[in-house]
């Protein structure tokens, strides 16, 4: 209802709305939802607090709009990559391609949105940890379809593994992915400076390699529970 492209300009506009969204995204992703005030966001965006209310009505509305902004493009990208991955003939290569299709969009720029998917993925990680209600609803109704599609695809390339095991392992994948984005500095610290945890390319390669192996692990045989359990459990 706004769109003012009468003459020549079609894309660029020093938009306050965009600035607020970007600032909020960054602040929410690093500090959580409740630790950031509307005034903080406005200040970071160079805007007036009232302007946030004007554009997004409430703080929840602002968060909602951030999600709306990213979910579509990211899931589209994932669908495309997943479709391509499904066409890989070699089963081992296909599994890796599927995992990559899941991981890459989460780490790198989601379509035309500035800043990229890493910030948004980190935001999702933080909201999920905080148990944010707004986020929970959107996540469940937006990402579950994608998650199921990936689980199905992985299951197809690993038919001998029960679906429950694949669910668990893809859950672990998401956890590892989230945590890598939340505290990359921990990787740098624990490696004594040998690796940069913030390096997306490096993180992706490591995550893909580890995750593919995890998916390929033999399934948990719930039929015969105590086959060859190793020691330690309740020794000391």
Partner DNA sequence: TGATCTTTTGTACGATAGTACAAATCACAT
Partner DNA sequence: ATGTGATTTGTACTATCGTACAAAAGATCA
78-137 binders of its own copies (CB under 8 A) = 80-81, 83-85, 88, 90, 93, 96-97, 100-101, 104, 125-126, 128-131
From the list 17-25, 48-56, 109-117, 140-148, the region that binds its own copies by CB under 8 A is 140-148
213's CB contacts (< 8 A; 6+ apart) are none
Nearest CA among 64, 68, 53 for reference residue 135: 64
Q: Which residues contact 79 (CB under 8 A, 6 or more apart)?
A: 146, 149
The interface region with DNA, picked from 50-58, 107-115, 130-138, 159-167 by CB under 7 A, is 50-58
Distance from C-alpha of 34 to C-alpha of 135, rounded to nearest angstrom? 13
169 binds, among DNA, its own copies, none (CB under 5 to 8 A by kind): its own copies
Burial status of residue 200 (CB atoms within 10 A of its CB: 0-12, 13-18, 19 or more): buried
Among 102, 119, 169, 200, binds its own copies (CB under 8 A): 169
Query: What is the closest distance, in whole angstroms, from the C-beta atom of residue 127 to DNA in the complex?
Result: 14
Interaction of residue 44 with DNA, rule CB under 7 A: no
Residue among 106, 86, 90, 213 at smallest CA distance from 161? 213
Residue number, 57 or 148, with CB nearest to DNA = 57
Contact criterion met (CB below 8 Å) for 121 and 106: yes
CA distances for 95 relative to 98, 99, 102, 180, 191, angstroms: 5, 6, 11, 21, 29
Q: Check residue 216 and report its DSSP letter.
A: H
Among residues 13 and 148, whose Cβ is nearest to DNA?
Answer: 13
Select from 35-43, 99-107, 115-123, 135-143 the region that touches DNA (CB under 7 A). 35-43
Q: Contact with DNA (CB under 7 A): which of 58, 141, 164, 191?
A: 58
| Closer to DNA by Cβ: residue 12 or 89 | 12
Shortest gap between Cβ of 119 and DNA (angstroms)? Answer: 20
Q: Which of 31, 57, 68, 144 binds DNA (CB under 7 A)?
A: 57
C-beta of residue 95 within 8 angstroms of C-beta of residue 157: yes
Binding site for DNA (CB under 7 A): 1-2, 4, 6, 15-17, 36-40, 47-55, 57-60
């Amino acid at each position: 209802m706004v769109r003012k492209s009468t003459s020549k300009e079609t894309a660029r506009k020093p938009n306050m709305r965009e600035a607020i969204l970007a600032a909020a995204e960054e602040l929410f992703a690093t500090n959580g939802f409740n630790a950031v005030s509307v005034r903080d966001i406005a200040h970071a965006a160079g805007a007036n607090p009232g302007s946030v209310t004007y554009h997004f009505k409430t703080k929840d509305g602002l968060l909602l709009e951030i999600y709306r902004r990213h979910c579509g493009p990211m899931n589209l990208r994932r669908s495309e990559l997943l479709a391509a991955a499904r066409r890989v003939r070699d089963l081992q290569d296909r599994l890796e391609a599927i995992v990559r299709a899941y991981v890459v969009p989460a780490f790198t720029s989601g379509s035309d949105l500035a800043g990229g998917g890493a910030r948004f993925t980190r935001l999702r990680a933080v909201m999920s940890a905080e148990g944010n209600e707004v986020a929970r609803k959107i996540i469940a109704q937006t990402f579950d379809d994608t998650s199921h599609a990936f689980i199905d695809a992985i299951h197809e390339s690993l038919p001998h593994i029960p679906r429950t095991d694949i669910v668990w392992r893809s859950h672990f994948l998401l956890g590892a992915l989230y945590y890598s984005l939340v505290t990359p500095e921990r990787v740098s610290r624990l490696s004594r400076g040998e690796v940069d945890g913030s390096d997306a390319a490096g993180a992706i390669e490591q995550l893909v390699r580890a995750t593919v192996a995890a998916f390929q692990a033999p399934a948990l045989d719930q039929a015969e529970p105590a086959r060859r359990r190793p020691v330690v459990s309740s020794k000391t």
